[in-house]
Chains A and B, each alone.
Chain A
């Protein structure tokens, strides 16, 4: 997903290559030796798994080619519903994360750049953005679960039935809240540089020419920030779509979202031989991300047109 990380807003030198002035023919293979580990890594952990997923999705259990795995993904109500919920969850938490995280980034950016609070917030966000998975699920269970601190406090002080006060955590609403928890700091980390790139002088120039605050945001800051914002939004979408461990730790009955459906297909001990249906589901997820990335590229091209 690094490929979709938001571009720095002042990326005006896109076409210029650093080696552009040198003699192209004199490049040796040795120049590329440094990137070999990177390509090996990409090959082993991105391309190979993708290949296994794509091939497996079109294979029956005996290895013969078949369309039945893909067909069941496209026709079975349970799978379609899971995709619907996954996309809902990703869109909602990406939007919440982008808006709340964006506002937070704005607040941090407009504060004193050498102040004491800023490095603390940035460091905390760096940690919290990666604080997903089982740890985060456990933290929420320990706080808001049936035996959670807050739940028991509410029960003992106000007599609230834990069923009423804690039930939400174990379903889609719970997932949305927990996912938003790691989306906001992630948004802050990836979006803060865009705010920092806004120069004070631009605002001064706008105001000295009689522009209002609205004019500044509408015609200057907005267009500059838009590509980064959209890029960050997509990153958050993909982040939520692919998250598995948090959901697996939180939800024990039912498989509402696609990563959990894939897990069921791969690990069920009741009916065996569903691994390739799981791969077809994974292929469909890859396609969803591919569609979103294409849209992003189109929007990005249009949004950054002003820069040329």
Chain B
């Protein structure tokens, strides 16, 4: 409980600092150039940006669990490289809570400087973001960034199938899941009308069965077949259901599945293997980076983004089983962490990423059909 107490003290100190700052020099000086800079050049180059960020000496991040996509290592590496203290706020908050926190702490030096958001939440809140284009801007695909730099995708999960190979062979395709040997074995992570993972599982099934990102009817039909065959389990998979053997096969994001191939499970005789089905292009969902336009540390915020889109930051995510957006560039440059890359499943084609309209259309379809599909 030592840490909890020190956190309480920290909060109290921070609250006091906010009050003092509110009475005195709010916003400080010297960061005005950083607050409006849309590129590192706008600050006078990377060296100037570094200087300004070090002068600020602080960075507020929010909702970055240290065991999520390897953020612990990334945060420590940034802090060590630039000597900037990172305040990790509400590590377990969700995307909407990040936005709520930015609104409620607006104007204080506790406000988050940068966001890591789910795509739909990011798209609904672009007015809170400051445009900024990182050095590797040109290498981020156009459909995965906002043209002026308000937001840009950072890392993706691919939809995958994880199976305990000690119990049943790893399927190569979505169609394989209909085979009788998978009877009572397949679990989908979350109700697709609620959870993004479950939803993209249905999209993956649609793409494998002649459907498209625009019309996922084929995916719903596939799950109906799967359910009728008795292969689909009405159980929500968690690390506990995997460890206890209740859910021998799980359709989930690759980073969730990859995390199950761990030593504890191996010691328990669970040989967790992961496949990205070959009968559909990989279905991906990217998280999104953005800078708070009211960031109390605007230069550090921009330096943080530059760091994330450097080989160090990108490889950091890769080691957390997330697929960094600059993966191809890193492969071409020869700077990729080949060992970490080797741990990810093979994915042949370019990933399919749903637009907001496609998400809404798919959701409308599921709301009307999912409950009767799995009856």
A residues lining the B interface (CB < 8 Å):
76-78, 81-82, 146-147, 161-163, 167, 170-171, 251-256, 263-264, 267-273
Contact = CB atoms under 8 A, between A and B. Distances in A.
A86 B245 CA distance: 33
Interface string B256-289: 0000000000000000000000000000000000
Nearest to A163: B184
Nearest to B246: A147
A273 B123 CA distance: 13
B228 interface: no
Contacts of A170: 234-235
A272 B191 contact: no
B53 to A, nearest CB: 33
Given A146-B235, A269-B195, A270-B192, A81 B372 contact: yes
A270 B121 contact: no
Nearest to B183: A163
Interface in B175-205: 183-184, 188, 190-196, 199
A263 B191 CA distance: 12
Interface residues of B, number: 39
Contacts of B233: 146
Interface of B: 94-96, 118, 120-121, 124, 183-184, 188, 190-196, 199, 230, 232-236, 244-246, 359-360, 363, 367-375
B371 A271 contact: no
Contact of A270 (B124, B188, B194, B235): B194
B188 A253 contact: yes
Contacts of B371: 78, 81-82, 254-256
Nearest to A277: B367
Contact of A267 (B183, B194, B368, B370): B194
A94 to B, nearest CB: 23
In this complex, the member of A77, A253, A256, A268 whose beta carbon has the largest number of chain B beta carbons within 10 angstroms is A253
B264 to A, nearest CB: 19
Nearest to A77: B368
A253 B199 contact: no
A146 B184 contact: yes
Contacts, number: 89
A78 B373 CA distance: 11
Contacts of B363: 268, 270-271
Contacts of A78: 367-369, 371
Main secondary structure of the interface of A (DSSP, over half): loop
Nearest to B362: A270
Contacts of A162: 184
Contacts of B192: 270
Nearest to B368: A78
A147 B368 CA distance: 31
Contacts of A268: 193-195, 363
B209 to A, nearest CB: 19
Contacts of A255: 191, 193, 370-371
B284 to A, nearest CB: 15
A146 B370 CA distance: 22
A270 B375 contact: no
A37 B177 CA distance: 59
A268 B184 CA distance: 27
A271 B360 contact: yes
Contacts of B372: 81, 254
27 contacts: A76-B367, A81-B372, A146-B246, A147-B244, A162-B184, A170-B235, A171-B375, A252-B234, A253-B191, A254-B371, A254-B372, A254-B373, A263-B194, A268-B193, A268-B194, A268-B195, A268-B363, A269-B94, A269-B95, A269-B194, A269-B195, A270-B196, A271-B120, A271-B359, A271-B363, A272-B121, A273-B124
Given A78-B368, A269-B94, A272-B121, 16 more contacts: A76-B367, A76-B368, A77-B368, A78-B369, A81-B371, A81-B372, A146-B184, A147-B244, A163-B230, A252-B235, A253-B370, A254-B373, A255-B193, A269-B118, A269-B196, A270-B199
In this complex, the member of A167, A251, A252, A264 whose beta carbon has the largest number of chain B beta carbons within 10 angstroms is A252
A21 to B, nearest CB: 57
Contacts of B194: 263-264, 267-270
